[in-house]
Every structure is written in C-alpha cells, then in structure tokens.
Amino acid sequence: MSDRTLNRIGTGCKELDSLLSGGLEMGEILLVYGERGSGKTALAFQVMSNFASLGKGAAMVYTEGRPPVSRLMAISGRSWDAISDLIWVVEVKSFESQESVIEELEYQMPPGVAVIAIDTITSRYREVLGEHDENIVVNKSLNRQLAMLKDLCRRKALSVLITGEVRMQLDGKGIQPVAPAILSYWSDRIVRLERPLGDVRKAVLERPPPKREAVIRLTEKGFIGAGGVAP
C-alpha cells in the first residue's frame, strides 16, 4: 500500500473508494458533478458520515436552501447520535454570503475538521450570472473561493469535496460542469455522476487518467455497490 493511499479516507462506498484509489486525499479538492438527482448531496453526506464515524470532524457549506438534515441522519443510520457532534453544517443564501463563509471557514468551523463539503459550489454562482462585464467580477469571485479552499486544504491537511451542476457542452454532444474552466483548474480529481436507469448510477473518474468507471446504486442509506470498477 502506497503512502498516498494511507493518506486517504474512504467515502463509505467501497466501489467509489476503489475508483478513487482509496478515497478522499488530504490536501486535495475532489469535484463531483452531475445532473439534479444524480446523488451529489447524498455522496457528500455519506462522506461526512464516514469521516465522523472515524472520529474526524466534517463541515458542509450548503447552498440550495434549507439543509436536508433528515437525509444526513438517514444516511448515518444508528451512528447518528454518536457522530452528530462532529458534523457542522452552515447554510448560505447568496453568492456574496458564500464567499464570506468560505473566507471565514478556517476561523468559524469547529476544531478537528478533516473534510469540507461545498454543496453545490455553483448554484448561487448561476443566480448572479448576467452580462459579460458582470460575469468577469462573478468569475473572479468564484475563482477566489476555490483558491481559498485549495490553500486551506493544503495548509490544514484536510480534504475538500465540491459538488457542481451541469450544462451542455458548446457542441451539444455532452455535459460539463458549470464554470468548467475554474472548477477544473482547482480540482485535483474529478468524478462525473450519471443516472442511466432508476437508482443505478455510473461514477466516471475523469481526472486523473486513465478514465475509469464504477457502477453503483443510490439508496436511502447512500451509495452501495452494483457491479464494480471497470478498467
């Protein structure tokens, strides 16, 4: 087992951990993007629950309304009472507020946090997109937020999970994350979640190469295996 593998903590789903060569790595940003209903929030909650079950703190910045804590409790199951004190969730209601929260994360989050989830990094960003000149300012702000997260995870040796929404590629032949240039620049690893049928999901590792896939299933308890990793 390599030193890098030893420096990773699992997601709570062994198929995803295999895809990620052991899980989330300290000092890195993992981007998970996909269409609505693909399981981005469930994965973020599952990661937080797994970290907390190992005695490590988990923080979330939630940007899409009232945080669905009942979903987090369902994913955590019987361990919720034991781990709830290790989990910290903050709601942001605007893009400006999102920047302020991220800027103050280091000083506001509880001690011992080992993973920070931002779900989603682009929903409030999309709300303020406007004409070209306005977007320059908005893009600079998003870029600054990612830079602060990267600096924080490196200095504090923690992991950052960001989730992203999708848009059609310009050629119309596929999807890509919203703000692809900014998100891909700062992300060390990138996973795309697809929903081919029912509760089945396909997780595609886009970075680092080589591209690989894992077939998984989304349940009330989070993700479980439904096939394995394709070479």
CATH number reported for the structural domain that contains residue 119 in this entry: 3.40.50.300
pLDDT, average across residues 214-221: 96
If you average pLDDT over residues 48-74, what whole number do you get?
Answer: 96
95 pLDDT band (50/70/90 cuts)? Answer: very high
Average pLDDT value for residue range 177-193: 97
- 199: domain range? 3-230
Report pLDDT for 56.
Answer: 97
5: pLDDT strictly greater than 60:
no
How many structural domains are present in the chain? 1
User: Residue 191 has which token pair?
Assistant: 């996973």
- Confidence band of 21 (pLDDT split at 50, 70, 90): very high
Mean pLDDT in residue range 129-150: 91
What's the average model confidence in pLDDT over 17-43? 97
The secondary structure element, H or E, covering residue 166 is strand 166-168
pLDDT class of 231 with cuts at 50, 70, 90: very low
Contacts of residue 220, defined as CB under 8 A and 6 or more positions apart, other chains included, come to: 74, 75
Work out the mean pLDDT of the chain and round it to a whole number. 93
Q: Which of 127, 128, 129, 121 is nearest to 186 (CA)?
A: 121
> What is the pLDDT, as a whole number, of residue 229?
47
CA angle 95, 101, 107 (to 5 degrees): 170
* Token code pair at residue 150: 């990267």
